[in-house]
């Protein structure tokens, strides 16, 4: 089971930077053995992988949140499916980091910033709870997914381009992982963008949606019919 929330008690590690103290027992090795003599900026690479992990872990939390609160069965089903794949992506990244001799529980400075940004995206889906119509609430959650998936897709695309520059011992595992995950990320982003367009188009074109007395059940039935 991958680690979805990294804390000191769960084995999290880091490195000291200005304004950040790290207990000596929690320090990490700057250059993992597999990257020694590679000519790469190994500490920076491990920081990037740590930030990618933080984003995927945040994505898993986002999908759990929107799947639990969406009232549309079609959206719920896709959120759960993509959430399961995102948890798999966490496992894959943890494996890649470990194969390189790094620590999957390492939280880099950029990962801490990524965690904060990810939490803020999740928070946006709660900001207007109870004060907006159902369609807008669904749209806000979907747009949060799009924001997360844009970075996901960019991360894995970048990693796939980096594969030829890695030490030969790591290329196969990184190539196989990026080929698999990048395709899934393309599906996630494409679906989310398409759903957003459909939802906005439906809202704009439907006069019934703007009637104050439309029952929630009737409104959700209209939304669901679009996606079936």
pLDDT tens for 160-188 read 999 999 999 999 999 999 999 999 999 99
* Cβ–Cβ under 8 Å, residues 226 and 202: yes
pLDDT digit string (tens) for 16-59? 665 465 666 666 666 777 788 888 899 899 999 999 999 999 99
What pLDDT does residue 225 have? 62
End-to-end Cα distance, the chain? 33
Domain 38-227 matching CATH 1.20.1260.10: the answer reads yes
Q: Which of 32-36, 76-80, 107-111, 146-150 has the lowest mean pLDDT?
A: 32-36
**Look-up: residue for tokens 């709660």?**
126
Residue ranges covered by each domain of the chain? 38-227
Percentage above 70 pLDDT, the chain: 81
Q: Is the pLDDT of residue 130 over 60?
A: yes
């Amino acid at each position: 089971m991958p680690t979805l929330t990294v804390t000191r008690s769960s084995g999290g590690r880091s490195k000291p930077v200005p304004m950040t103290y790290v207990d000596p027992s929690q320090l990490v090795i700057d250059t993992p053995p597999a990257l020694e003599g590679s000519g790469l900026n190994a500490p920076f690479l491990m920081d990037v992988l740590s930030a990618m992990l933080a984003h995927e872990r945040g994505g898993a939390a986002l999908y759990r949140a929107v799947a639990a609160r969406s009232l549309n069965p079609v959206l719920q089903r896709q959120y759960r499916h993509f959430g399961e794949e995102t948890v798999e992506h966490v496992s894959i990244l943890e494996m890649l980091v470990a194969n390189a001799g790094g620590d999957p529980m390492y939280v880099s400075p950029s990962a801490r910033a990524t965690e904060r940004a990810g939490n803020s995206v999740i928070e946006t889906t709660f900001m207007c709870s109870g004060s907006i119509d159902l369609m807008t609430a669904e749209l806000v959650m979907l747009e949060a997914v799009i924001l997360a998936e844009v970075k996901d897709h960019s991360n894995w695309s970048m990693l796939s381009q980096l594969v030829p520059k890695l030490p030969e011992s790591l290329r196969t595992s990184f190539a196989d992982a990026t080929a698999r995950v990048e395709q899934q990320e393309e599906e996630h982003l494409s679906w989310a963008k398409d759903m957003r367009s459909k939802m906005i188009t439906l809202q704009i074109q439907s006069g019934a949606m703007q009637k104050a007395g439309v029952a929630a059940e009737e409104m959700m039935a209209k939304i669901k019919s679009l996606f079936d």
